[in-house]
Amino acid sequence: MFFFACKNKHFLKNFSINLPPLSKLLTFVPQKQSDMDKNKTDNKTELADLGEFGLIKRLTENIQLRNNQTVMGVGDDACVLEYSEEQLVVTNDLLIEGVHFDLGYTPLMHLGYKAVVVNVSDVLAMNAFPKQVLVSIAVSNRFGLEAIEELYKGIHLACKDYGVDLVGGDTSSSTKGLFLSITAIGSAPKERIVYRSGAGLNDILCVSGDLGGAYMGLQLLERENQIFRADPNIQPDLSGNDYVLQRQLRPQARIDIITFLKKQDIIPSSMIDISDGLSSEAIHLCLNSGLGCKIFEDKIPIAMETDSLAEEFGIESAVCALNGGEDYELLFSIKPADYEKIKSNPSISAIGHFTDKAEGMSVVGKNGAKIPLNAQGWNAFLNKK
Ligand code: ADP
Ligand code: MG
């Protein structure tokens, strides 16, 4: 097995969220538990008693606005924003219980945090800085006020960590389950906005942080959830796996990388965030830029924790990095002339370069073999046992 020790995973310490290690915090609950408020099953406050306006008030009453572009936040028919010079980037994600998250093991606070992070990550991937978010929820009567407040605790924490204002949203009931839709707004000067389509021949392909950890975190949670469902008397022992659990349940968006690039006066030629795995995102950059690429397997950064858990599961960790997902790292390209400026940043790895389209898109394995990027070959490694 190979691994690249994660060079800088401790950048997360700068963030305000300070939770107990996930391996201690997590409890598994049966899937069809009627009351999702795990900790306070006895004193659930019914949302129906509170009413829509009461709930909105509880969720938004302590909002502090942080950005001068926010003229009016929550409290009117629409928020009012003032951007005079910069271009806006706007993105939205919809998260559905049972499709995008499993409340059997996802703490609500982490769900709220992650929901904001994934949108912030999309804004950053345009080389813009996030400024505002709108949050819409639809909730069934299975949830009490306490549960929704947990969700919002995570949302508010993420807003604080990334310096964004919660400026509005919508609140509705649902017949079944929890729906969460988040819109994020960010901005950058027109000339700094980065598209997927701008890569040039020989540009260097770089990735932030390390990859594959979120996928291994999910594998672990799914495995332990299966065991729990077979015997609900056994709570899983997740100790020693905090890193991958955090990668899955509490990812971070790489605002530090965008800040670094700005300071170095580097505008990436193309960029995308890694939500679906390195392979899929590299293909997006190639197709949009009309180029091919070569990625070197031994340059793909993988944390030691990811590597050893992958080994336990009988999975190639490179496959987790290529075909897993939800790492929310940034994949971007720079001109060869800018390489000097990034090479000493421990959070950035150069993993390959763009080639002529005719050369195709490939990963060069450690043995020198060229494997087409989108080939099933990588999937076939997923279960090598
Ligand atoms: P409207 O009837 O115009 O849709 P609402 O009563 O739904 O207004 O919302 C009142 C205010 O609260 C608005 O500023 C809206 O953006 C905000 N808001 C509503 N639901 C949420 C929510 N879940 N999270 C944050 N803000 C919300
Ligand atoms: Mg409304």
The verdict on 84 and 122 lying in the same domain is yes
Instruction: Calculate how far, in angstroms, residue 171's C-alpha sits from the geometric centre of ligand 1.
Output: 7
User: Domain boundary residue among 144, 159, 192?
Assistant: 192
Q: What angle is formed at CA 197 by the lines to CA 195 and CA 200, rounded to 5 degrees?
A: 115
The verdict on 73 and 214 lying in the same domain is no
From residue 111, give the alpha-carbon distance in Å to each of 38, 65, 102, 150.
Answer: 15, 22, 10, 9
> Which residue of 52, 55, 59, 60 sits with most ligand 1 atoms within 8 Å of its CB, as the best mutation to test the pocket?
60
> Which residue of 50, 70, 74 sits with most ligand 1 atoms within 8 Å of its CB, as the best mutation to test the pocket?
74
CA dihedral 377, 204, 14, 323 (to 10 degrees): -10
Q: What Rg value do the Cα atoms of the chain yield, rounded?
A: 21
Q: Is residue 1 part of a domain?
A: no
Please state the atom number of ligand 1 nearest to the C-alpha of residue 152: 24
User: Domain boundary residue among 172, 192, 212?
Assistant: 192
CB-defined site of ligand 1, < 6 Å: 56, 59-60, 74-77, 135-137, 166, 168-171
Q: Is residue 2 part of a domain?
A: no
Q: Is residue 14 part of a domain?
A: no
pLDDT at 42: 56
Instruction: Calculate how far, in angstroms, residue 142's C-alpha sits from the geometric centre of ligand 1.
Output: 21
Q: How many domains does the chain have?
A: 2
Which DSSP state fits 45? P
From residue 319, give the alpha-carbon distance in Å to each of 215, 246, 322.
Answer: 10, 20, 5
For ligand 1, atom 10: residue with the closest CA: 75
The verdict on 154 and 225 lying in the same domain is no
The verdict on 208 and 336 lying in the same domain is yes
Q: Is residue 313 part of a domain?
A: yes
Q: Is residue 25 part of a domain?
A: no
Please state the atom number of ligand 1 nearest to the C-alpha of residue 53: 6
For ligand 1, atom 9: residue with the closest CA: 170
Instruction: Calculate how far, in angstroms, residue 26's C-alpha sits from the geometric centre of ligand 1.
Output: 31
User: Domain boundary residue among 168, 192, 216?
Assistant: 192
Instruction: Calculate how far, in angstroms, residue 162's C-alpha sits from the geometric centre of ligand 2.
Output: 25
Q: What is the CATH number of the domain that holds 299?
A: 3.90.650.10
Instruction: Calculate how far, in angstroms, residue 52's C-alpha sits from the geometric centre of ligand 2.
Output: 9
The verdict on 246 and 156 lying in the same domain is no
Q: Is residue 244 part of a domain?
A: yes
> Which residue of 61, 151, 155, 171 sits with most ligand 1 atoms within 8 Å of its CB, as the best mutation to test the pocket?
171
Instruction: Calculate how far, in angstroms, residue 328's C-alpha sits from the geometric centre of ligand 2.
Output: 30
pLDDT, averaged per 10 consecutive residues of the chain (385 residues), comes to 32 44 73 47 82 95 95 97 96 95 93 97 98 97 95 96 97 96 98 98 98 96 91 87 95 98 98 95 97 98 97 94 95 98 97 98 94 65 46
The verdict on 369 and 233 lying in the same domain is yes
pLDDT at 6: 33
Q: What is the CATH number of the domain that holds 187?
A: 3.30.1330.10
Q: Is residue 289 part of a domain?
A: yes
Q: Is residue 19 part of a domain?
A: no
Point out the ligand nearest to the CA of residue 137: 1
The verdict on 239 and 360 lying in the same domain is yes
CA distance 332 to 305: 25
Assessment of whether the complete model's pTM goes beyond 0.75: yes
Closest CA to 111 of 63, 156, 164, 155: 155
Instruction: Calculate how far, in angstroms, residue 339's C-alpha sits from the geometric centre of ligand 1.
Output: 46
Q: Which domain holds residue 279?
A: 204-380
The verdict on 102 and 238 lying in the same domain is no
CA distance 142 to 325: 30
Instruction: Calculate how far, in angstroms, residue 172's C-alpha sits from the geometric centre of ligand 2.
Output: 8
Please state the atom number of ligand 1 nearest to the C-alpha of residue 79: 14
Instruction: Calculate how far, in angstroms, residue 105's C-alpha sits from the geometric centre of ligand 2.
Output: 30
For ligand 1, atom 1: residue with the closest CA: 77
The verdict on 142 and 98 lying in the same domain is yes
pLDDT at 28: 78
> Which residue of 63, 135, 137, 170 sits with most ligand 1 atoms within 8 Å of its CB, as the best mutation to test the pocket?
170
Point out the ligand nearest to the CA of residue 182: 1
For ligand 1, atom 7: residue with the closest CA: 170
The verdict on 226 and 187 lying in the same domain is no
The verdict on 39 and 104 lying in the same domain is yes
Please state the atom number of ligand 1 nearest to the C-alpha of residue 135: 24
Instruction: Calculate how far, in angstroms, residue 53's C-alpha sits from the geometric centre of ligand 1.
Output: 8
The verdict on 121 and 257 lying in the same domain is no
CA distance 283 to 131: 29
Q: Are strands 165-173 and 129-139 parallel, antiparallel or unpaired?
A: parallel
From residue 102, give the alpha-carbon distance in Å to each of 67, 98, 108.
Answer: 33, 5, 10
